[in-house]
Amino acid sequence: MRIDAAPLALALALLPRLLPQSPVATVCMPQFSGELAAQFIESSYRVAPGGLSGTFRTRQPAGMMLSGLGFNRSGGPLMFRYNSGIATDGVHLLLADRGNNRVLVWNQIPESNTPPDFVLGQPDFESNDSGSGRHQMNWPISVAADGRRIVVADTYNDRLLIWNSFPASSGAPADLEIRIVWPWSFYIC
């Protein structure tokens, strides 16, 4: 197969950033000679269509995705992207999974690789769309809990989200939102 080297140069520049997070592909390129060999393992992705132009324009929608879980897909309840804040009240465990725009909640602290019981900021464990509704998040960086309330620093929405009691199901909207510029960390007294 012949690959045009112009669009390939951009792909090669991006590969080192994409591959450390990807269990899907192994790329072999000891020295760039105009050829790239990729070995796909456990892949269910479709083959790239023929006739791609190799040019890009501003705001061009993606035509395909190399390595990843799909658009607006988190990878499931135990696939974290840029997790940052973690909290417990001694009973529950909460994890801010900022790259997936969600907070994962376990009703009891797990002793093994156990999926969370529900998720805040998303309707289910598979979605990861950002949003600004009280039931959505955009880059939640920190979380706190005191056994009664949950507080989340929803950083890219410039707000704190507060649940006055622990929700029972995924996607539950916050009871209160406090507007604050670029919140990163806080604690409950």
Q: For the segment 122-176, what is each residue's pLDDT rounded down to a tens digit?
A: 999 999 999 999 999 999 999 999 999 999 999 999 999 999 999 999 999 999 9
Supply the pLDDT for residue 69.
59
Q: Which tokens in the block code for residue 85?
A: 């804040």
User: 62: which DSSP letter?
Assistant: P
Whether the CA torsion 163, 169, 173, 175 is positive or negative: it is negative
Dist. CA 140–CA 16, nearest whole Å: 26
Note the pLDDT of residue 160: 97
Dihedral pair phi/psi, residue 60, rounded to 5°: -70, 130
Q: Which ranges in the chain belong to alpha helices (H)? A: 5-18
Residues in the chain: 189
Output the CATH code of domain 83-179.
2.120.10.30
pLDDT score, position 181: 94
Q: 103: which strand partners?
A: 96, 120
Which residue ranges does the chain devote to CATH 2.120.10.30? 83-179
User: How does residue 1 score in pLDDT terms, banded at 50, 70 and 90?
Assistant: very low
Digit-coded pLDDT (tens) for 60-91? 776 655 445 566 677 888 888 888 899 999 99
